[in-house]
Amino acid sequence: MPTIKDVARLAGVTVTTVSRVLNNRGYISDATRQKVYQAMEELNYQPNEIARSLHRRKSKLIGLIIPTVSHPFFGELAGFIEYYAHLIGYKVLICNSLLDRKKEKEYIEMLKSNRVDGIIMGSHTLEVEEYMNLNYPIVTFDRRISEEIPYISSDNYGGGKLATHLLIQKGCKKIAHISGNLQLQLLANKRSQAFIELSKEHGIESVIVETELNVFDITQYEAMIRNLLEKHPDIDGVFASSDVMAAYFIQIGYFLNRRIPEDIKIVGYDDIKLASLFVPPLTTIRQPIEEMAKCAVELIVRQVNEEPFERENVFPVELIERLTT
Amino acid sequence: MPTIKDVARLAGVTVTTVSRVLNNRGYISDATRQKVYQAMEELNYQPNEIARSLHRRKSKLIGLIIPTVSHPFFGELAGFIEYYAHLIGYKVLICNSLLDRKKEKEYIEMLKSNRVDGIIMGSHTLEVEEYMNLNYPIVTFDRRISEEIPYISSDNYGGGKLATHLLIQKGCKKIAHISGNLQLQLLANKRSQAFIELSKEHGIESVIVETELNVFDITQYEAMIRNLLEKHPDIDGVFASSDVMAAYFIQIGYFLNRRIPEDIKIVGYDDIKLASLFVPPLTTIRQPIEEMAKCAVELIVRQVNEEPFERENVFPVELIERLTT
DNA sequence: TTCAATATGTCAATCGTTTGACATAAAAAA
DNA sequence: TTTTTTATGTCAAACGATTGACATATTGAA
């Protein structure tokens, strides 16, 4: 690979001059500028970003830790994050923690070693303190960690309310909520909270089941749901904490010959792209994934540039009513 | 951030010694090793991987260019690629080209500038020559570019045959195939080829529609499919070139009151995780995504290490018969 | 006692770029 | 003609590590 020296030699100038045209500083005549460009062209020269990073102590890299990019919600989130990062010259390193505490830690160390400019955390199993002394531009999804670290979330409570309210309003008599693991202390837990409060308030019978800790694997959903429907065959409304869970529910309902929405109504959460393609199309609570992704990138950049930023970034959700309710 | 010098100072040794314990070379007594470790601990020292990369001229970085990580197939692929890369100490930079020729090129330049050790290309719009003089460890998905560049694909022809054969065998009289854009010269085109050949061979009426060039956006699918069904209302079998397309078909069928599989049978391609959750669960051609991802990482590493590797890596597919046929 | 093995240090170059300080020369403006 | 401005060059340090060559000191074994 050619270096700046090769370019200088070929163009008949010094590396200082090449650097000057490369970085647009100082005086440069058009003639030499052209000579330099031509030499770069000829050699197919690409400035070594590693050397640059080393020197300027900025890598233009953002680390993204999520459970897994193969989950539709996180896939979409990652897609938008990369999109907005790329717009402003940042690259993104993906890390799939699989909600494994050890991997999460490993990834954080790795990202620090690689001197990423900031870390976007969409996966949370670690103790709060471990983040605290991270001393790094960070933004978290769905988790409040300390007074300083900014976080992004959807209006979980509002979403939970919208979903639960819809079920009640549609005449459900006994409703269930399937949530992620509640020990994880995520802000998503507020969805459950809203569910509980609202059903109590309306005197509606309700049950909650949650997924196991550390199990992101999707296979357990099925057993969980079948179990739920066996124990409570009279459930006629379900609020699932993600569209993927809702998909399981729809399917199991189909196999169990429960008509949707006639026998059981279902509301999901996220509004992943495929939600509208389910049969029947899924009623769900839409998180503004794109806006949240954009915000995450912005929060990192603001911290890098030492600009002021909001600590609380709660995005409004929207009820997307389709045909499962 | 502390440097190796700070560690040396605190441990009361020279940087050479610290480097020696860091890299396990030369003689080191247990005592000093401990002193050094302790100093690293105390300072919360993380060796600067950027400096290391610069020195060893290896970044331990793999670039991954795909249309978008938010597409389930590529999301799953990316997930596995990151998984296997991480196992052997590689990191992955994701690039979502959105099948945009300009972005694709930009990303390649960017990845080269960042001196990634290799590039995995799952997005192809560029001219072949542009890759040829890339002179870089590369592996492509679903495209044969030159004599030297290794590629990975599923047995597209076999898959197309399996799908088409199934439809015919199930008694379909007029079958359709929805494919990606055929101008892209992907090996995936062999699916269409198999479809055409087999339907001709069996004397079955058939139609093919393909998506537009450069449009990865999913929204066009719907119009396309509705259009197809309007023009050919007597279609009773469909082979979709991806599970996402199949999902559209299932849904539109649902809205048009065509029963699946009674009125129309559908076969997808990929076997994304959600395919089994469709209603009815989708019959599809399974690509061994995980194995393909693993293979991609391996091919990069082998090229980096100058070990021998296979140029052709065609993976067997499998018919997963569920309930849409 | 002597030699080899072990343990550490010193020094400096290298990876590829940026940048500041300074010098010099040509072109343009006064 | 003199002074500025513009254009380039020279030199060297810095970013944070690794590494080779060599020196020296302490052990332990023969």
For residue A30, give the nucleotide whose C1' atom is nearest its CA.
D7
The continuous run of DSSP H or E covering B245 comes out as helix B243-255
How confident is the model over A161-175, as pLDDT tens digits?
A: 999 999 999 999 999
CA distance B289 to A277: 23
Is B163 in contact with B319 (CB distance < 8 Å)? yes
Q: Return all residues near A40 (Cβ < 8 A) that are at least 6 apart.
A: A7
> What pLDDT does residue A222 have?
85
Calculate how close chain B gets to A233, using CA atoms only, in Å.
21
Beta strands B91-96 and A205-210, pairing class: unpaired
Higher pLDDT, B134 or A79: A79
Angle B65-B70-B72 from CA coordinates, rounded to 5°: 100
- Return the sign of the alpha-carbon dihedral for residues B84, B90, B93, B99: negative
Which chain B residues are within 8 Å of A250, Cβ to Cβ?
A: 277, 279
Amino acid at position B142, single letter: D
Is B118 in contact with B138 (CB distance < 8 Å)? yes
How many CB atoms neighbour CB B87 within 10 A?
10
How confident is the model over B160-169, as pLDDT tens digits?
A: 999 999 999 9
Would you write out chain A's pLDDT as a tens digit for each of its 325 residues?
Answer: 899 999 999 999 999 999 999 999 999 999 999 999 999 999 999 999 999 999 999 999 999 999 999 999 999 999 999 999 999 999 999 999 998 889 999 999 999 999 999 999 999 887 777 777 778 999 999 999 888 999 999 999 999 999 999 999 999 999 999 998 898 889 999 999 999 999 999 999 999 999 886 656 667 788 889 999 999 999 999 999 999 999 999 999 999 999 999 999 999 999 999 999 999 999 999 999 999 999 999 999 999 999 999 999 999 999 999 999 9
Of chain B, the end-to-end C-alpha distance in Å amounts to 61
Is A111 in contact with B46 (CB distance < 8 Å)? no
SS3 B238: strand
CA distance B322 to A230: 24
Put simply, the chain A residues between 189 and 218 with a CB less than 8 A from any chain B CB are 218
Residue with tokens 């001229």: B57
Cβ contact B16 with chain C strand, < 7 A: yes
Is A290 in contact with A274 (CB distance < 8 Å)? no
SS3 A62: strand
Nearest beta carbon to residue A115 from set B50, B112, B115:
B50
Residue with tokens 């900025």: A58
Instruction: Tell me the residue length of chain B.
Output: 325
- Quick check: A254 and B54 CB within 8 A? no
The domains of chain B, with CATH numbers, are 4-47 (1.10.260.40), 56-153+290-314 (3.40.50.2300), 156-288 (3.40.50.2300)
Of A101, A94, A98, A103, the C-alpha closest to A71 is A98
Which positions in strand D are less than 7 Å from the protein's CB atoms?
6-12, 14-21
Cβ contact A22 with chain C strand, < 7 A: yes
Put simply, the chain B residues between 88 and 117 with a CB less than 8 A from any chain A CB are 91-96, 109-110, 112-115
CA distance B40 to B47: 9
Q: Return all residues near A122 (Cβ < 8 A) that are at least 6 apart.
A: A64, A65, A66, A67, A74, A77, A140, A141, A142
Q: Which residue is nearest to nucleotide C6 (CA to C1')?
A: B27
CA distance B251 to A323: 12
Which positions in strand C are less than 7 Å from the protein's CB atoms?
6-12, 14-21
Q: pLDDT at residue B216 above 70?
A: no
CA distance A300 to A150: 9
Strands (E), B50-90: 61-66
CA distance A193 to A209: 13
Protein A109 CA to nucleic acid D8 C1', in Å? 45
